[in-house]
Structure 1
Amino acid sequence: MRDQTFHGYWLLTGNVSILSKRLKAQNVYDLEGICLGSSGVKAFYAVDPSIGSLLYQTGYLTIKAISEYWRAFSLGLPNREIKIGLLSELLNLYRDGNIQDTTMLTLAISSALQKKDLPELMNLLNKLIAPICCEHWKQRADFLFKATTVLAFQLLSAHLDTEVHCTDKPPEVHMIVKQISIFMVFNC
């Protein structure tokens, strides 16, 4: 209270990199909308917890909506501090980059989106994925592109719908940035 400003004190009490490494190992990158049944919210298995239960029990996810009929809980990130801390760390792990570079690129992507500068946005997305190790890229190019891009846009609070397939066209990955009204199509 002495500083008269809010800081990220909660994240300083734990080590987000342990969770981020587990998320990456399980190929998890989209943390909004994870659903658990009532047993998943209550139960916590120390040996091999589900990722949703682990994130809920540790406070990295909170209940956003409840389906009374199914007794299912839709989980999401509880606040900006956790969102920025966890997603930045996870994005950095996926792209094999350094955290300062990741943060600066995310800010530049935000600026390009606000200016509706599609060529600059494409340039920045290329820079975002550039540090990914060549061996990783060869094995999982589509997944890594999708994971890094979704994480970057979620950090900017832009909602993405990925893999919306059109029946009259070849399969494409569509990314719709709803809040900014830019439509981008990336061919797989």
Structure 2
Amino acid sequence: EMCLELKKRYDGYHFVENSIGMYNPFSLLNTFAKKKLSDYWFETGTPSYLVELLKRTDYNLYDMAHTQTNADVLNSIDIVSRNPIPVIYQSGYLTIKEYDSRFKTYTLGFPNLEVEEGFINYLLPYYTSIKETDSPFQIIHFVKEIESGDAEAFFIRLQSFFADTPYELIRNLEVHYQNVLFIVFKLVGFYVKTEYHTSRGRIDLVLQTDRYIYIMEFKLNGTAEEALQQIEDKQYALPFATDTRTLFRIGVNFNNETRNIDTWIIQTT
């Protein structure tokens, strides 16, 4: 069991295609020395430059964690480029997950749980008004609300994540909405089962606990009713038709004028 835990937390680095995964030696040796699992590598430094680069380029964080690229891009760092991926890859926060020999393209992703959890946790204060010292406790509250079936409290809390954000520094509100949601639900996903899908202009999400299933659809400058209708039209709930857990269908709308979530509708079955 401990070997599997060590593999999940510290293994997974691939510096060339079709290679055996490598452990982070610094984290692994510290774990053996201290007999304790921790984010040792992430504690050696903070990726503030990388986060500022992501924000400056209005980069979609979902794309960062599922990006496809080629060797020319990975091996190049251009200070005037609007593509932050080469810097993030060469800094060790992304690694090669798959290689397509036909097209010579790489699929990148987080190498392991230590990097993914540490990096996503670090992002939250940069994209929201939540203080760095408060962000872990906010995520705990989110998880407890989800596990207790209190969807209303969950969305009231989520509204606060968009409040008082310095929007004059944000050029693309749509990408900002998607990035905040990606960060929040990624962090929540470390404690509950999360399936997150996105495409331009739309985010749909499924959260699962032992007692509840949440199906959420987010709209921008539409209505919560339209979001809820899309859940029905696309039959998002169909895979859970025979599930005995309580099912929440939730439609949510963002409003560019208020720069926040303005309405949500919750249906329970």
Mark yes or no: TM-score above 0.5.
Answer: yes
Q: Which residue of 2 aligns with 1:169?
A: none
Q: Which residue of 1 aligns with 2:205?
A: 176
Q: Which residue of 1 aligns with 2:52?
A: 21
Rg (Cα) greater in structure:
2
Shift of 1:136: 5.0
Q: Tell me which of the two structures has the higher relative contact order, counting C-alpha pairs closer than 8 angstroms and 6 or more residues apart.
A: 1
| 1:85 partner amino acid | G
Gaps of 5+ in 1: 165-171
Shift of 1:134: 5.3
When you count helix as a share of all residues, which structure comes out higher? 1
Equivalent residue in structure 1 for 2:155, among 122, 140, 148: 122
Q: Which residue of 2 aligns with 1:167?
A: none
5 Å matches for 1:9-158? 9-28=40-59, 29-30=61-62, 31-41=64-74, 43-45=75-77, 47-48=79-80, 50-133=83-166, 135-136=168-169, 140-157=172-189, 158=194
Q: Aligned with 1:97: secondary structure?
A: coil
Q: 1:173 to 1:115 in 2, by over 3 A?
A: farther
TM-score (norm 1): 0.81
Shift of 1:12: 2.3
Shift of 1:2: 4.0
- Which moves more between the two structures, 53-62 or 127-136? 127-136
Shift of 1:155: 2.2
For 2:154 and 2:33, how far apart are their aligned partners in 1? Answer: 40
For 2:218 and 2:41, how far apart are their aligned partners in 1? Answer: 37
Number of residue pairs matched? 179
For 1:184 and 1:110, how far apart are their aligned partners in 2? Answer: 16
Q: Which residue of 1 aligns with 2:20?
A: none
CA offsets 1:115-169 (integer angstroms, 9 cap, x no match): 34321221121122224125457x64433222111111122333321247xxxxx
For 2:55 and 2:174, how far apart are their aligned partners in 1? Answer: 15
For 1:44 and 1:127, how far apart are their aligned partners in 2? Answer: 39
Equivalent residue in structure 1 for 2:198, among 162, 166, 171: 162
Check the 8 A contact 1:33/1:75 in 2, yes or no. yes
For 1:156 and 1:94, how far apart are their aligned partners in 2? Answer: 16
When you count strand as a share of all residues, which structure comes out higher? 2
Q: Aligned with 1:160: secondary structure?
A: strand
TM-score (norm 2): 0.59
For 2:72 and 2:116, how far apart are their aligned partners in 1? Answer: 25
Check the 8 A contact 1:16/1:85 in 2, yes or no. no
Gaps of 5+ in 2: 1-31, 221-269
RMSD: 2.4
Q: Aligned with 1:21: secondary structure?
A: helix
Q: Aligned with 1:187: secondary structure?
A: strand
